[in-house]
Structure 1
Amino acid sequence: METVRNEALEAWMREHQYSANGLARAVNSGLEALTGKPGTYDGRHVREWRAGRVRWPNTATRRVLSDLSGKSAVDLGFVPRRRTSPAAVSQEDPMYRRTLVAGAVSVAVAAAAPGAASTRKIGMSDVGRLQEKFSAVIASDHKRGGQLDIEQRATNLADTALNLQNSGSATQRVRSSLYATAAGFRSSAMWAAIDGRRFKDALAHMREAQTLAELSGDQTIKFRIWSHAGTLYRHMGRPADARAANDVARNLHITRRDPMFASLGMARQMAIQGVSHELRSLPRTFGQAQEAMCRAGSDAARPVWLLAFWDEAELHSLALSAYLAAGDWSTAEYHAHRCLASLRPHMQRSRAITTSRLAQAQLAQGDVDAATHTAMAVDEEAATQHPRVSRMLQEFGAALRAMAPGSDNARTWTEHTAAWRAHP
């Protein structure tokens, strides 16, 4: 008999991003749930199915494949044996008979249920379309971070991902990806609330994001959420909670598998050490974060949110935050210049934050002229619209007037900020 390649199965596996080994594992799990005994398939068996050398798997396997795909075995490209009729199979296979009856009942119930006609198969292409919107949220955050509309958009998209869960059937892989995507949107809403100093809202987003991340089982999004939690508590003035949350992120196995995550975890630990005034710990922690970043290869598959911001510039930004909080102004200024020299063009919010911190570090050293010039370089939109930047510049103005009351620099700064208020 001529062997005909099973193109239908191949196409379904491509659409849902199943490797041969991945599908074998899924089938084995399904067999265990169906029969009480784990399956023994591996990638070689799946390749036999794709090649057409196994044209009609056994009854239990066909049932599991149908449950996974939402398709019949025939629709998946399998070919029944010529001498096997449904009646004959029913006579010799009690499991098939039970499955057929159960399937008929399920179909009848589904047909009677409201909205049954609209049930569809959800695939990785649906997840991909949502993830494209996630990339757009990330881009907006780096341009205009902290805005309420970004938080609301991310929240709505998280709800969209969850609603998609209930709009049709899907494999476990697709459902996990949808939960991870929803968690990602919630974590972006959380970050926008942190950046906008809406801490109560950020806490609510955090709890929802943590639940969704657990449902997804995705280590990368768990890392992002717990790492953000550490930042949230740090901004709320709760360094012990910040350290505990960041430790959860740092202890996830993703940090052992990919040094880039370990690097970010150490850098955020450094920022927490800064607000705790652990000045002597900062050089060592910075060195560990930098060393881990150097070990991280560029060929690893990483989430878009990490690729969009984590680099040498952001490492120096967190060092700047740490040394500024710890009161080492000259070292803070050094890291500010290093950060600004290597910031990527799209990091507009980060540039405004770093420039504001640089002005604070210069003023704390008594360099009033340089500090005023630096503060005036902050983009007007960020200075007036970004809550964190606005607060830092207000603190800068108060410190400038206290240090040099009635000076030309104080008058220049007052006139400069008045011009901002004149152009809302």
Structure 2
Amino acid sequence: MVGRRNTKLQELLTEFGYTHAQLADEVNQVAERLFGTPAQCTDRHVRRWISGDVQWPWLRYLLPLQEIFGRSPESMGFTPRRTSRVPVLAPRPAAAPVKEHHPVRRREFIAVGLATVLGLDGIPVQGRLGITDVERIRAIVPALYRHDHQLGGGALHDVAAEALRRVQQALNQCSYGERVERLLYSAMGDLAASAGWFAYDAGRQEEAGRLYSQALQSGMLAADGMLQARVWSNLAMQARLHGRDQEALRIGRAAVGTRQAKNDPWLMTLLHCRQAVGYARTGERIRAERSLARAEKAYDRVQGQPAAWLSFLTPAEIAGLAGAAHHALGKYDRAEQLTADALAMLEPRFERNRVYYTAQRAQALLDGGRVEQAAAAAGTAVGLAGRVQSERVRDKVSALRHQMRRHAHVSTVADFLEQTRPRGA
């Protein structure tokens, strides 16, 4: 049965200057940017929406349409079914088509739509679980990490925590065999470790510690040594954040010694890089340099694609961590050079790391006495920082700005401080 023609959507296309094909392309681009995969929308879909043949599009189309037009589904002329889920987005004023979506809008959009895209409602809460259910749960973590690199943990930790809660509910209320049980604990631990990382990045350290403990317990119950080594690595980072460098090194050494690390060059590369930074912070130059060399040797052995949580480990990341180690050793020129190399190699998808390493380069320039160059780099870091929700990165940029105040007599620094002064300060 043909429904009533959707004149509101037709008017929006006219107002925004879209043809049917152009709107379909825009839906696909927004979906890919926000969810990691295109929506496979065509001009035929748009024609059916306007004709009224489809009165309520699938969510993979509806959410991008909301982002494009800044309207609720009803304001776009769609009629919900009784079973339809209506995502709520704060409306924005109608304007010309926006090809570059504002980062804040993008974060709001993901917070509303990601739980749906991840299929959290599809996780069973009763009945018997099988391998297919485990695979569906396993797919959550890679989807989350596709957004983590661009948005930061502040945009994702609540979604990850909700996913973890649903998996725990399934584990406690459903039935399953022994093999599925082990796989479930492994999947749940992977999700808990990821949620812990997002909380860590968002500055929620107490929550991160609790989630890491849960992930470690799940790893033990699943006999998943790789998961346990991953959690140890994250715990070492957290210890270092709190200034417990010796503890971080001890944890890192334990992780390096595991069979899983020895068998996985991706993991071994990361562990040696982080150990290098730890040794540098305690003034152990020879051990730091030895760890960097071992990291490079391990990276030479990597093949294929890493686990989702290690997808950030690229030559750019290795150079950036080497820069951090040299900075801790007081080798500021070398640190700046390595960090500049990291920024040059960094892929566009790693927005948070771009902010982080831009601030790291500015710090190296400042500590090396190149104050005017440091001010320019610091200004870039501040400008980029609004793109991500990472309290860890914000703290680094804020500390850098505070240190720049000692050089307020330099005109470029004075300009930087004035331009980046917090509102109301």
Interval containing the TM-score (normalised by the shorter chain): 0.5 to 0.7
Partner of 2:141: 134
Aligned to 2:162: 156
Equivalents in 1 of 2:126, 2:286: separation in Å?
A: 61
Give how far 1:119 is off. 5.3
Decide whether aligned partners of structure 1 residues 368 and 261 sit closer, same or farther in structure 2, where only a CA change above 3 A counts: same
Matches within 5 A, 1:276-295: 276-295=282-301
Partner in structure 1 of residue 178 of structure 2: 172
Provide closer, same or farther for how the CA distance between residues 239 and 398 of structure 1 changes in structure 2, counting only shifts above 3 A. same
Alignment equivalent of 1:224, drawn from 198, 221, 230: 230
Q: Report the equivalent of 1:205.
A: 211
Report deviation, 1:302: 4.2
Residue pair 2:212, 2:235 contacting (<8 A) in 1 also: yes
The alpha carbon displacement at 1:352 in A equals 0.6
CA distance in structure 2 between the partners assigned to 1:332 and 1:194 by the alignment? 25
Structure 1's 366 and 119: CA in aligned 2 closer, same or farther, altered over 3 A? closer
Q: CA deviation at 1:385?
A: 4.5
Give runs of aligned pairs for residues 14-413 of structure 1, distance below 5 A. 120-147=127-154, 149-298=155-304, 302-306=306-310, 308-378=311-381, 380=383, 382-383=385-386, 385-402=389-406, 404-413=407-416
- Cα contact 1:270–1:319 (8 A) shared by 2: yes
1:159-212 Cα shifts (integer Å, max 9, x gaps):
222222234332333222221121112112221232233322222222111111
Alpha-carbon contact 1:234-1:275 (below 8 Å) kept: no
Aligned to 1:32: none
Aligned-pair RMSD on alpha carbons? 2.1
1:289 match: secondary structure: helix
Aligned CA distance change for structure 1 residues 235 and 312 (closer, same or farther; 3 Å): same
State the AA in 1 paired with 2:210: A
The answer as to whether partners of 1:161 and 1:179 remain within 8 angstroms in 2 is no
CA distance in 1, matches of 2:371, 2:153: 29
Cα distance in 2 for residues equivalent to 1:163 and 1:343: 39
Distance change (3 Å), C-alpha of 1:389 and 1:261: closer
**1:271–1:319 contact (8 Å) kept in structure 2:** yes
The code of the aligned residue for 2:254 comes to V
Contact 1:162 1:178 in 2 (8 A): no
| Native 8 Å contact 1:246 1:269 kept in 2 | yes
Deviating beyond 6 angstroms after TM superposition, the runs of 4 or more aligned structure 1 residues are none
Q: Tell me, in whole angstroms, the C-alpha distance in 2 between the residues paired with 1:169 and 1:302.
A: 32
Deviates more, 1:350-359 or 1:267-276: 267-276
- In structure 2, C-alpha distance between the alignment counterparts of 1:382 and 1:139, rounded to whole Å: 19
Instruction: Measure, in 1, the Cα distance between the counterparts of 2:141 and 2:194.
Output: 9
**Partner secondary structure for residue 408 of structure 2:** coil
Deviation at residue 130 of structure 1 after TM alignment: 1.9
Shift of 1:379: 5.8
Taking structure 1 as the reference length, what is the TM-score of the superposition?
0.66
Quick one: distance in 2 between partners of 1:224 and 1:231? 11
Amino acid in structure 2 at the alignment position of 1:120: G
Identity %: 26
AA partner of residue 391 (structure 2): P
The amino acid across from 1:367 in the alignment is R
Structure 2, unpaired ranges of 5+: 1-124
Conservation of the 8 A alpha-carbon contact between 1:317 and 1:339: yes
Give the AA of the match of 1:219.
G
Q: Secondary structure at the match of 1:223?
A: helix
Shift of 1:357: 0.5
Cα distance in 2 between the residues matched to 1:183 and 1:416: 44
Alpha-carbon distance change, 361 to 131 in structure 1, aligned in 2, over 3 angstroms: same
TM-score normalised by structure 2 residue count = 0.66
Tell me the amino acid that sits aligned with residue 160 of structure 2.
A
Tell me, in whole angstroms, the C-alpha distance in 2 between the residues paired with 1:405 and 1:381. 22
Residue 341 of structure 2: SS of its match in structure 1? helix
Count of residue pairs brought into register by the alignment: 299
Mapped partners of 2:215, 2:325: distance in 1:
27
SS of the residue 1:309 aligns to = coil
| Contact 1:329–1:362 (8 Å) recurs in 2 | yes
Secondary structure (helix, strand or coil) at the match of 2:258 reads: coil
The CA distance in 1 between the partners of 2:274 and 2:179, in whole Å, is: 31
The one-letter code matched in structure 2 to 1:368 is: V
Q: Is the 8 A contact 1:145 1:349 kept in 2?
A: yes
Name whichever of 276-285 and 237-246 sits farther off: 276-285
Alpha-carbon distance in 2 for matches of 1:274, 1:398: 24
Q: Displacement of 1:230 after TM fit? A: 0.7
Structure-2 separation of matches of 1:171 and 1:344: 43
Q: 2:159 and 2:270 mapped to 1: Cα distance?
A: 26
Shift in Å at residue 266 of structure 1?
A: 0.9
Q: Which moved more, 1:282-291 or 1:388-397?
A: 388-397
Larger-Rg structure: 1
Shift of 1:265: 1.4
